[in-house]
Amino acid sequence: MLNQIIFGYFAVTMISLALIVITRKNIMHSIVYMLILFFHIAGLYLFLNAEFLAAIQIIVYAGAIMVLFLFVIMLLNLREELRKSRFAITWPIGAIFVVLSAVMIIISVFGNRFANVGNVKISDIEKVGHTVAVGKLLFVEYLFPFEVASLILLVAIVGAIVLAKKEIK
Amino acid sequence: MIPKCYLFIPFLPLVSFVFNMLFGKRVLKDKAHLVPIVAVSGSLFFSFVVLIYVLFGNLVNEDLYTWVKSGDFKVSIGFLIDELTAVMLIVVSTVSLLVHVYSIGYMHGDERYSRFFAYLSLFTFSMLMLVMSNNFLQLYFGWEAVGLSSYFLIGFWYEKKSASDAAKKAFIVNRFGDFGFGLGVILLFITFGTLHYVPIFSDVELIKGQVFSFLGMDMDVATLIALLLFCGAVGKSAQLPLHTWLPDAMEGPTPVSALIHAATMVTAGVFLVARANPIFSLSPTALTVVALTGGITAIFAATIALVQNDIKRIIAYSTISQLGYMFVACGVGAYASGIFHLYTHAFFKALLFLCAGSVMHAMSGETNIQKMGGLKEHMPYTYWTMLIASLSIAGVPGFAGFFSKDDILWRAFASGTFTGKFVWFLCTVGAMLTAFYTFRIIFLTFHGTFRGTKEEKKHLHESPQNMTMPLVVLAGGSVLAGYVGIPVILGGNEWFSEFLSPVVGYAEGHGGHLAEFIVMLLSVIVAGFGIYGAYYIYLKRIDIANSAKETFKPIYNILYGKYYVDELYEYMVQRTILRFTKYVIEKVIDSWIIEGIVNGVPAAIGWLSMKVRRVQTGVVGHYSLAMALGFFVLTIMIVFKIWN
Amino acid sequence: MQVPDLIPVVPEILMTILVLSLLVIDLFIKQKEYIAVYTVVGSLLVIISVFYCTGVTFKGMFVADSYSIFFKMIFLINVIFAAIISVEYLKKRASLYGEYYVLLVFATIGMMIMASAGNLIVLYLGLELMALSTYVLAGIIRTDGLSTEAAVKYFLLGAFSSAILLYGISLLYGITGSLDIREIGLYIAKEGIINNKLLLLGLVFFITSFGFKIAAAPFHMWTPDVYHGAPTSITAFMSVGPKAAAFAIFGRVFMIVFPALSGSWVNLLIPIAILTMAVGNIVALAQTNIKRMLAYSSIAHAGYALLGIIAASNEGLSAMMNYMLIYLFMNVGAFILVIMLNNQAKVGDSIHDYRGLSKSNPLAAFLMLIIMFSLTGIPPTAGFMGKLYLFMAVVNAGYGWLAVVAVIFSAISAFYYLRIVMFMFMNESIEEVKLSLVDVNGLLLIIVVFMVLFIGVNPQPFVELARLAIL
């Protein structure tokens, strides 16, 4: 019962926060709400006994990425942005579809079981420690996706340079 | 087996077509005839090689190349060479070669000289592929390809409006027949699951008595297939009621008329019926239809030919009439006789056309025989060869036409059915008319006094050697071609029918030798009567012709007006149908329906196109909205499974 | 721990080596054309290696089977074509040379990984690798506003579709407890959960995101803007490569994960296919910009190819693969001429620029005629063969009426393809366009047209190839 209550709190809060993030007029406010959202995600990881992931979530997202966001936003001139309407004129239609789609998803969830299978048990993880468990999974089991992810990062770097470099004559 | 060299027969003309299209105009110029003539000579040579192989009992039936294969459906290029094909190969390549040679002189100086030879080669290729095919689909493609080359060649002088109109007419009228033919091919595939001749003909007994239900009507499958195939034959071979395109097709250059519209392409319908003889033989109904169509067309066209004045049109009606004889033969089950007549007809009819071309050459393009006369002195070669052709077509004993036409008459008489007797009667009357109108041409053109202008008279001359040479060769054919099928009562052994019997079998029904002799005598007598009639009216008592014209004015007008079939069709299409629709549409439903159909569909698509295009606003938000909408609809569909 | 078998991944490794060496070489080479030559030669070597490196490795995450080999062949030929047609085009626009080729090859690696993905994570990463590279490529001419706009739109909507895909993957993982494509399929078959609503919902997520990648309506909205705005050489690259890659995963996921649900997804895909053909063909009629017209035509062709998936049979799958190969040739052929006109005469974007081309360059007009015939589907071109096999697959699957609908839309497509032919042959040119076929693009055009005719006349080997390559 307690589990349900805690999960319910996280779930509802996260969705509300996400909605708040996209509806703020002032982008700085959005960023702050997003930070709180990330902390809640970390909390959900903790709730799932994934301490390592929770720590990574806070360090990478809250620490690195959010700070980067803040820097970029400070470099841009946002006074113009504030005066404009936040949404396209069609936003109510979009909202309706989102709500209706959500209803369809909720209809689908009820009465359908999930597989409660997992390859790794909590006790096994406790034995070796979270870092080792994640590392093994990442570098042995998922070695290939890991390598592909590194290529994606390389593309991101090249792409950023291409788009940001001064025009050569 | 025959060595693969038979492939040279169709593909040499194809090569020459491509070559002439690419280089003819710039490189070869007035030497453009060289490559096609060499190619067609090669085809002729290999046709004889193939004939020799076939005579020794070697046949070919193989798929050379499979284009598409998926399950039962197979499209392949394949060749079937049997006795029937061998005969057709000889006919096609011989006439084609002679027409090629003749065209050197006839088309000399034309600005599209090389293009003309390219089309001739294309036609030869298509025709050879048609006769060598081993399946109905390739036959159909060949069928359409010869139609296309015919369209190009009829409208070769497309600057002349009458020529381009004639080309269009030929194309459109043939659509009617080919539509039926196409349906027949589809029905064949549905029925047999294949389109190859050999499996179809070996299984053909299985469909005996099967019925095909369509719109609540039960139809015998064999009859239905046979009649649909015959639709194609009626269009291509210009039988009633689709004959109207052939006389108009005479707008094309004369060598084309000789090759395509006399000797080869128009006989494709007869070839089709002979080739599909196992299917036709299953259905007495279909055979009766074939025989009656042929018989009625034979006499119908012959009567029109009696009074026409355009030399080429007379011969064109004569062609329609002679094709009718061939269908009569097929309709009474004597396919071999039909092919025999096809084969002799190719020689004398091509000869008639080429002679007519020669006359027109001398007359600077004049075609009205009333303005000719006395040409005998000026063009002896043309006169004598044309005389031979006329004797042959009139059925004078000793000439090729006598043997083949007599064969048909006897088979029709001997078939033992009422239809047989009836068409025999029609054909015998037709034989008299044939003799009459052919010799009408001879007497009006070559005898008597010249009725043209002085200017024209000065210009009269015999055609150059490269035009007279083919005439002489064809004259030889018009005499000798018949001697491969001498009937038994004249001491022969009907070798030709014997030769074709593996493909088309033997004709049913027999009669005594006396009866056969009487039939033959009768045909000779009516032919003689026809010739004498022409002689009497047009040479001896010229005044009779005019007074008869006056006396029988109504009949004359009907015949001269070709029974007003063209006018009837025009009336039906333009007056009746168009006026009716105009009335209905304009008065009753207002003009919006016609516009809706004719202009509306493209316009509606265009309008829709402009509207849908508006959705493309360029705003990312709208695009993602469309995606969300799509996603939502899909979820609705899947959650409620609305398709149940 | 043992080292995983690397043989099946050799083509991808070679491509990665190629891309890394390109990055370095770019710094030293002055004659930038050599980069293109290097890319082409490298890709040719990889094509050879593709045929020898087969097998399953990384615990089933990477599957180099005949199915993936067929698609990799398409991707590599596509990148070679793109590399060749880009040389002149880029020279005229003084853009970033080395990075351009680097991104082309990166995108190709992404496609190859997608084709070989045996695991949904790998599939997603391959897709992202491809997508990120193409986003940047679409906007590589930064001085051109349209190009930048195209890149931003493509990026935003692409991110949207990636999110949808991830949602679908997470649902599948939640239901079956696995990310391995084969295992998920086995689990669904074993448990018999074909009426599980959540699973069906996962299906919808997959259809939506794959539909976005193949540009199926109503997820196609990005296509005209992006194809129009992107550099023409990139449009040629994008309209085949990513589309074929998306069809590769479409086929693999639907035929392995969801075969038991085919009753459901066929019913979802049929309206999508019809709508796609309708939108593509009808809106193309109103276009006067040839790049936009080809964009809509590419949407329409995606609709035809979807028929192969709808058939839900090996026959349909092989017909779809065959069509992708054929589409590669005819599509590139159309774009080469656009690029050549662009390079040599600074025209070619409007369909009116093709007026009277048969007068100024009959050969080019003739080649374009064959390409247009093929796109319409007129025999004896390859396009006819491709459509024939697709339609036959649909008919054999029992959807004869759908084939009839597709034929009707094909007939409509004749309006806008043959309009170009009409302009070329029947109209007088507005201004004289000088076009020479004597360069590398012209040679490529001739090769492509030859292939279009060759496949059209002799389709059996290619059909057999596709038939052998099915899963």
Q: Chains touching chain B at 3 or more Cβ pairs under 8 angstroms?
A: A, C
Residue C115 counted as domain residue:
no
Element (DSSP H or E) covering residue B68: strand B60-70
- B624 touches A at CB < 8 Å: yes
Closest chain B C-alpha to C108 CA, distance in angstroms: 26
Whole-angstrom distance, CA of residue B158 vs CA of residue B171? 14
Q: Chains touching chain A at 3 or more Cβ pairs under 8 angstroms?
A: B, C
Whole-angstrom distance, CA of residue C254 vs CA of residue C252? 6
Residue type, A23: T
The interaxial angle of helices B161-192 and B136-154, nearest 10 deg, is: 180
Is the pLDDT reported for residue C1 higher than 60? no
B415-435 average pLDDT score:
86
What's the pLDDT at B300?
87
What does the pLDDT look like over B367-396, one tens digit per residue? 787 777 777 778 888 888 888 888 888 888
How much is the mean pLDDT over chain B?
81
What does the pLDDT look like over B538-550, one tens digit per residue? 777 777 767 777 7
What's the pLDDT at A84?
64
Tell me which DSSP letter residue B462 carries: P
Is the pLDDT reported for residue C177 higher than 80? yes
The share of chain B scoring above pLDDT 70, in percent, equals 90
Residue of A nearest to B622 (CA): A90
Residues 6+ away with beta carbon under 8 Å from B563: B300, B304
Residue C152 counted as domain residue:
no
What's the pLDDT at A18?
92
What does the pLDDT look like over B322-338, one tens digit per residue? 999 999 888 888 888 88
Give one DSSP letter per residue of C140-162, joined into a string: --TT-HHHHHHHHHHHHHHHHHH
Lowest-pLDDT range of B278-282, C136-140, C251-255, C325-329 = B278-282
Residues of A within an 8 Å Cβ radius of B? 87-88, 90-91, 93-94, 97-98, 100-101, 104-105, 107-108
Whole-angstrom distance, CA of residue C410 vs CA of residue C400? 15
Residues 6+ away with beta carbon under 8 Å from B277: B330, B335, B503, B504, B505
Q: Bigger pLDDT: C369 or B158?
A: C369
What's the pLDDT at C11?
94
Instruction: Please count the residue pairs, one from chain B and one from chain C, whose beta carbons lie less than 8 angstroms apart.
Output: 95
Widest CA span in chain C: 73
Give one DSSP letter per residue of C84-126, joined into a string: HHHHHHHHHHT--HHHHHHHHHHHHHHHHHHHHB-BHHHHHHH
Question: Given the structure tokens 């113009």, which residue do they identify?
Answer: A80
Residue C178 counted as domain residue:
no
Do the Cβ atoms of C74 and C240 come closer than 8 Å? yes
What's the pLDDT at A123?
77
Chain centre distance of CA A54: 12
- B620 touches C at CB < 8 Å: yes
B334-345 average pLDDT score:
88
Residues 6+ away with beta carbon under 8 Å from A130: A50, A51, A52, A53
What does the pLDDT look like over C42-59, one tens digit per residue? 999 999 999 998 889 888
What's the pLDDT at B612?
67
Of A104, A152, A167, nearest to C143 by CB-CB distance is A167
Give the CA angle between residues B523, B525, B529 to the nearest 5°: 115
What's the pLDDT at B32?
77
Residue of B nearest to A98 (CA): B628
What's the pLDDT at C374?
93
- The domain tally of chain C equals 1
What does the pLDDT look like over A111-148, one tens digit per residue? 666 666 666 677 777 788 888 888 888 888 899 999 99
Residue type, B168: K
What's the pLDDT at B576?
66
Q: Bigger pLDDT: C132 or B173?
A: C132
What does the pLDDT look like over A16-57, one tens digit per residue? 999 998 888 778 888 889 999 999 999 998 888 888 889 999
Cβ distance B635 to A105 less than 8 Å, yes or no, reads: yes
What's the pLDDT at A119?
65
Element (DSSP H or E) covering residue B616: none
Query: Closest Cα to residue B187, out of B168, B162, B213, B165?
Result: B213
Helix %, strand %, coil % of chain C (to 5): 80, 0, 20
User: Testing the interface with B: which of A100, A101, A109 to mutate, by most B Cβ within 10 A?
Assistant: A101
User: Which two structure tokens, joined as six digits, stand for C275?
Assistant: 């709508």
Whole-angstrom distance, CA of residue C100 vs CA of residue C81? 14
Q: Note the helical H segments in A27-142.
A: 27-47, 51-56, 66-75, 79-83, 91-109, 122-128, 130-136
Element (DSSP H or E) covering residue C350: none
Do the Cβ atoms of B631 and C208 come closer than 8 Å? yes
A73-86 b/e (C-beta count within 10 Å ≥ 16 → b):
eeeeeeeeeeeeee
Residue C70 counted as domain residue:
no
> Chain A, 63-122: which have a CB under 8 Å from a chain C CB?
104-105, 107-109, 111-112, 114-118
Element (DSSP H or E) covering residue B369: none
What does the pLDDT look like over B261-276, one tens digit per residue? 877 888 888 899 988 8
Residue C232 counted as domain residue:
no
What's the pLDDT at C131?
94
User: Which two structure tokens, joined as six digits, stand for B510?
Assistant: 């027999």
What's the pLDDT at C133?
94
The share of chain B scoring above pLDDT 90, in percent, equals 1
Residue C108 counted as domain residue:
no
Residue type, B443: F
Residue C449 counted as domain residue:
yes
The share of chain C scoring above pLDDT 70, in percent, equals 98
Q: Collapsing DSSP states into helix, strand and coil, what is residue B283?
A: coil
Whole-angstrom distance, CA of residue A97 vs CA of residue B633? 10
What's the pLDDT at B594?
47
Residues 6+ away with beta carbon under 8 Å from C372: C334, C417, C418, C420, C421
Question: Given the structure tokens 């066209």, which residue do they identify?
Answer: B301
> Chain C, 150-169: which have a CB under 8 Å from a chain B CB?
152-153, 156-157, 160-161, 164
User: Testing the interface with A: which of B615, B624, B625 to mutate, by most A Cβ within 10 A?
Assistant: B625
What's the pLDDT at B574?
61
Residue C431 counted as domain residue:
yes
Cβ distance B639 to A108 less than 8 Å, yes or no, reads: yes
Whole-angstrom distance, CA of residue B281 vs CA of residue B506? 11
What does the pLDDT look like over B468-506, one tens digit per residue? 888 888 888 888 888 887 877 777 777 788 787 788 777
Whole-angstrom distance, CA of residue B524 vs CA of residue C376? 61
Do the Cβ atoms of C318 and C260 come closer than 8 Å? no
Per-residue confidence band for B362, with pLDDT thresholds at 50, 70 and 90: confident
Residue of B nearest to C381 (CA): B67
Is the pLDDT reported for residue C362 higher than 80? yes
What does the pLDDT look like over B27-83, one tens digit per residue? 767 777 788 888 889 899 988 888 888 888 888 888 888 887 776 777 888 888 888
Residues 6+ away with beta carbon under 8 Å from A106: none
Whole-angstrom distance, CA of residue C81 vs CA of residue C92? 18
How much is the mean pLDDT over chain C?
89
What's the pLDDT at A117?
60
pTM over 0.90: no
Do the Cβ atoms of B39 and B125 come closer than 8 Å? no
Q: Collapsing DSSP states into helix, strand and coil, what is residue A55?
A: helix
Instruction: Please count the residue pairs, one from chain A and one from chain B, whose beta carbons lie less than 8 angstroms apart.
Output: 32
Number of neighbours of residue C385 by Cβ within 10 angstroms: 28
Cβ distance C197 to B616 less than 8 Å, yes or no, reads: no
In chain A, the N- to C-terminal Cα span, in Å, equals: 68
Number of neighbours of residue B604 by Cβ within 10 angstroms: 12
Instruction: Give the range of the structural domain holding residue C456, as residue numbers without chain letter.
Output: 263-471
Domains of chain A: 1-89 (1.20.120.1200)
Whole-angstrom distance, CA of residue B618 vs CA of residue B258? 65
What's the pLDDT at A114?
65
